[in-house]
Structure 1
Amino acid sequence: MVGGAGEGAGKPDFSERFRTDFETLLKWRRDVRRFRRDPLPEGTLDHLLHLADLAPSVGNSQPWRIVVVDSAQKRGEIVSSFEAENEAAAQAYDNDKAMLYRQLKLAGLKEAPVHLAVFSDEDPEQGHGLGRMTMPETLAYSTVSMIHTFWLAARAEGVGVGWVSILDPEKVTQILQVDGSWRLVAYLCVGFPEEEHVDPELERARWQARTPLSSRILHR
């Protein structure tokens, strides 16, 4: 590999093997719901977060704010929030769909050794507002970019990530006692997968299959 970050001259020479491996990584980046309880090796989480922090952000604002949820009490409150919201969601479906919904494994909150609550600062000083005057939502988009970077880095280390979205954002903000101006973007479960699959769990459960890319590309 030629050159490096900040060196100015040259660009990385990514081999065909690397490009193939990268495609494999993208295919194996799955939303993990079934975790082993054993902890991550010491230093692994810090390493993954440092890689994630390399993600791009609007105006170089780095708006992501990451809360590592270690407290058993706070985790329990998060689980309670999930269970309440999950049941409310189930009741929105008709009988057959509700039955299937309740059978889905939609969180690994009780098993995953690491919980991360990822917020986006809605008005960070860093970046001086550059690039977000007309589209302030780009701050949250930047945070999502960081999350995806973290996800790929984790999978490259054999670590699984699950994004739990069935939560009340205001409730999570209160439980974790963070700045009320921060916006919850994701609650992530992190740990080693109990099992590995290249296909999405929702597809295996026949909830929703993936659709061809051609159905989502428009030309004008």
Structure 2
Amino acid sequence: MTQPNHCFSDAERRGLYRAIYERRDVRSQFLPDRTPPDVLARLLEAAHHAPSVGFMQPWDFIVIESCEVRETVLSMFEQENQKAAGRFEGERQERYRSLKLQGIMESPLNLCITCDRDRGGPHVLGRNSIVDTDLFSTCLAVQNLWLAARAEGIGVGWVSILEQAQLSTALNLPEHVYPLAYLCLGYVSEFLDQPELEAKGWRSRLPLHELVHRDTWGNR
């Protein structure tokens, strides 16, 4: 019996894997060009089509163009980044301070993807044992948007050096809504051949064969 062929075409597969391998966390290469509304709409639609446990769809999207809001967030970043630098010593600290870890003002658009921890009510299918599946689901929306952005030629940078309670206040979030990902978006001058942290000698990609186990931990 002939099995149905659900594979993408060769060209479609190449495009998908290219987006995966060329996706970058962009901080330094943003151009001032505005993202057209139809492109932004496609990115948000891609994010909204992420899988979610119990189909709860816990995400919301705050599109941030205001310079005032972004300046507030940048000030918060600088405060937290100073703390983070203090965790390292010597040459490692110098290297850390040399890294550009945000593009809040340089990017023409910021986007906060939030997680509504009450969405779907108190009993969401599939969430009984692992309550953080709402957060995991929202991370999938981030990844969907990121891959779609690469296909559109849009760079994305995740600003993770932020204190979440302060960010919630700055964005006027309800108490039950968690600011999961603060992103910088925009067209870029280039997509680097390597992740920037790898190119700057901060860390290298781990070999896959060291990370694959069979049946139980340690059987490589």
TM-score, reference length from structure 2: 0.91
1:180 is aligned to 2:175: yes
Match of 2:93 in 1: 98
Match of 1:107 in 2: 102
1:143 to 135, 138, 142: 138
Equivalences for residues 40-79 of structure 1 within 5 A: 40-79=35-74
1:21 shift after superposition: 2.2
Which SS does the other structure have where 1:185 is aligned?
strand
Match of 1:21 in 2: 15
Give the partner amino acid of 2:137: S
Tell me which moved more, 84-93 or 41-50: 41-50
For the Cα contact (< 8 Å) 2:27–2:100, is it kept in 1? yes
Match of 2:158 in 1: 163
1:205 is aligned to 2:194: no
Which SS does the other structure have where 2:194 is aligned?
coil
CA root-mean-square deviation:
1.6
For the Cα contact (< 8 Å) 1:62–1:126, is it kept in 2? no
1:121 is aligned to 2:116: yes
Structure 1 residues not aligned, in runs of 5+:
1-9
Runs of 4+ in structure 1 off by over 4 angstroms are 10-13
Structure 2 residues not aligned, in runs of 5+:
none
For 2:193 and 2:52, locate their aligned partners in 1 and report how far apart those are by CA, in whole Å.
29
For 2:67 and 2:135, locate their aligned partners in 1 and report how far apart those are by CA, in whole Å.
28
1:43 shift after superposition: 1.9
Give the partner amino acid of 1:14: F
For 2:154 and 2:205, locate their aligned partners in 1 and report how far apart those are by CA, in whole Å.
24
Report how many aligned residue pairs link the two structures: 211
Which SS does the other structure have where 1:178 is aligned?
coil
1:44 shift after superposition: 1.4
Give the partner amino acid of 1:71: S
Match of 2:128 in 1: 133
For 1:137 and 1:11, locate their aligned partners in 2 and report how far apart those are by CA, in whole Å.
36
Which SS does the other structure have where 1:211 is aligned?
coil
For the Cα contact (< 8 Å) 2:65–2:108, is it kept in 1? no
Identity of aligned residues (%): 39
Which SS does the other structure have where 1:56 is aligned?
coil
